Amino acid sequence: MKSEIKKQSLFQGPIVRQAVIDSFKKLNPLVMMRNPVMFVVEVGTFIILLMLFMPRYFNIQNRGYVFAVFIILLFTILFANFAEALAEGRGKAQADSLKKTKADTVAKRINDKGEIETVSSTELRKGDIVLVEAGDIIPGDGEIIEGLASIDESAITGESAPVIKEAGGDFSSVTGGTKVVSDSIKVRITVDPGESFLDKMISLVEGASRQKTPNELALNTLLITLTLIFLMVVITLIPIASYVGIKLQIVTLIALLVCLIPTTIGGLLSAIGIAGMDRVTRFNVLAMSGKAVEAAGDISTIILDKTGTITFGNRMASQFIPVGSATEEEAREAAVLSSLKDETPEGRSVLELAKNQGFSIDYSQYEQAEFIPFAAETRMSGMDINGVSYRKGAVDAIQKYVQQLGGEIPSDLKEKSDQIANQGGTPLAVSVGKKIVGIIYLKDTVKPGMRERFEELRKMGIKTIMCTGDNPLTAATIAKEAGVDDFIAESKPEDKIRVIREEQAKGNLVAMTGDGTNDAPALAQADVGLAMNSGTIAAKEAANMVDLDSDPTKIIEVVSIGKQLLMTRGALTTFSIANDIAKYFAILPAMFTVAIPQMKALNFMHLHSPTSAILSALIFNAIIIPLLIPLAMKGITYKPMPAVKLLRRNLLIYGLGGVIAPFIGIKLIDLFVGMFV
């Protein structure tokens, strides 16, 4: 599994400088209104600014104190804006690199007369046919309608190895900006300018089309509600204080309101959401919406195709089975010699299996041997070595070949080959001269580490279901070997949709991976549909995520990122609300101690003075935002564990930590502030 790519340093000079500039631009009230919590802080800051300009009207006694509160509140807003601008800046930096990939290229468009005309890629429209030859950049997203070519997709996916794309089938789609390495193809353009995957990716990483998710909207509602509650609490303090003969300063009331409302999470909420999208993008997954990323965090069931997802997809040698009077050693040697120059995946797997079983051979002595390539007519391949023919191929083809040479068919050949076929494998007969010596058992092999990855999902509380067109016996064998929770054999497209709907009816959120046209309905039905970039246009349009690396197992990373996003948001919300306890004990005694000496009992932190107490609480409230930016951007560490244990862990770290940290922080700040007030 490829690790996270395109990893950037959190604080890069150009990004930080632009974020600082954007922090001031975002002071625009029309922009701030999108964040109600911080908008309240800005309104309070503006009121204090008016007090500084009209001290007589507001009866200001200590102008230095008011100015200090103004500066602290201003920096509180700027720090919150900086967190959002920094998250956006990282996306824009990545978008700039993508725009370089999306350079204007020349296209060889084929007109109605069949003639080739050279045009700019920006002139291409949906339905146009273009010729792309070796060395050319593919000018736009489309489908290959003629030809086969090796395509370098490293500019988009980061993978250096070229991939083979050809007309027809499930791997005919190509992406604009990729390069044809060999051969030539004709491509039908499937999108108009501005609608390509690269355009969508640039738009998404810049945050231009990012919408708040339902969970984020719910949290916003909670924060607004808390802000209104604390606003009413602060307003009711005025008549209460007046009743006991205390005149509260407006600046102090604003300071109390700012400290009690959840400014920490309010200032970091946008950054958390943007950073979640950014993390998915840096894993080379194009998420069509923030909702898809968030939904991934609540996934409880994952539907996976067997071929290419759980297994390699290519049938590989797994066993050498002797037949007749031959030994296993004879069968192995014959299989190796017939595969020496076979460059197909099956041929290489024969040599790999023999090597793993301890078989060694001097390849140099067979360099002059004649290689017999596979042909559709003969359905076999092999080598002629020193007048001896070594062949491997379909059982009936080898039988016919041996009989033509006058050889006999082993009595157990049919029984053993049928047994392999019944298990979903492919039997290849192996002969030496006119004698059949064995069978190569080919089967679709489970990818290494799949059992461990499914165990990881199980720890997350996620159920895995494998879908395959294989017979029940083969499906059961693969399912047991891979370690999935359940499987559906002989499945058709409608079966996948049925399973997804059944799971959704139980209240589960379902993820699905796929790449073919027949996967499109299921991808559209799933809560999280992850399509492969190497798949069909239909699959990519139906899904709400596209993996540019075409690695189906990456759904596990997507789920982890989704959970990390939700946990980060929840943890910082808990921390923000828990902060209020310390601020309460810092500011309230400072407000009432002069008139009510008994309130000194609440000042157990022994803060220097009422003024230093208020300023210290405000300073802590401001600086905690930039201190938590790295955590908001990177996300908290996610470890698979039961939900109850996870909740207990986060309450202990961020709940208790949110209570203790402000007491320590405010006290340390007060020791410093006390020297000046």
> In 424-462, where do the E strands start and end?
426-432, 435-446
Whether 200 has a binding-site annotation, put simply, is: no
Was 232 annotated as part of a binding site?
no
Read off the tokens for 181: 């390495």
36 neighbors 220 (Cβ within 8 angstroms): yes
Sheet with 388-394: strands ordered across:
311-322, 435-446, 426-432, 388-394, 380-385, 370-372
Strand partners, 453: none
374 annotated as ligand-binding: yes
Closest by CA position to 287, among listed 175, 208, 210: 210
Radius of gyration of the chain, Cα coordinates, nearest whole angstrom: 34
> How many whole angstroms from its chain centre is CA 501?
24
DSSP H helices in 135-260: 154-157, 197-206, 214-243, 250-260
Longest dimension (CA), the chain: 118
Question: What is the C-alpha to C-alpha distance for residues 553 and 622, in angstroms, rounded to an integer?
Answer: 42
Place of tokens 């046919």: 129
316 is in an annotated binding site: no
- Cα–Cα distance, 98 to 93 (Å, whole number): 9
Is 113 annotated as contributing to ligand binding? no
Tell me which of 305, 547, 549, 670 is the catalytic residue: 305
Residue 7: CA atoms inside 13 Å, Cβ hemisphere, count? Answer: 5
283 appears as a binding residue in the annotation? no
Phi–psi pair at 28, nearest 5 degrees: -55, 120
User: What is the C-alpha separation between 360 and 357, in angstroms, rounded?
Assistant: 9
Is 2 marked within a binding site? Answer: no
Rounded to whole angstroms, how far apart are CA atoms 621 and 611? Answer: 15
Residue 381 counted as an annotated binding residue: yes
117 is in an annotated binding site: no
Q: Is 458 annotated as a binding residue?
A: no
Whether 199 has a binding-site annotation, put simply, is no
Question: Is 305 a known active-site residue?
Answer: yes
User: Is 377 marked as a binding-site residue?
Assistant: yes
Beta carbons within 10 angstroms of residue 141's beta carbon: 25
With contact defined as beta carbons under 8 Å apart, do 402 and 369 qualify? no
CA distance 484 to 311: 12
515 marked as binding residue: yes
Q: How many helices (H) and strands (E) does the chain have?
A: 23, 21
For residues 586 and 617, is the Cβ–Cβ distance under 8 A?
yes
Q: Which residues are catalytic?
A: 305
Task: Give the residue numbers of the binding site for Mg(2+).
Answer: 515, 519
Q: Which residues define the annotated binding site? A: 342, 346, 374-381, 392, 515, 519
Q: Which residues are annotated as a binding site for ATP?
A: 342, 346, 374-381, 392
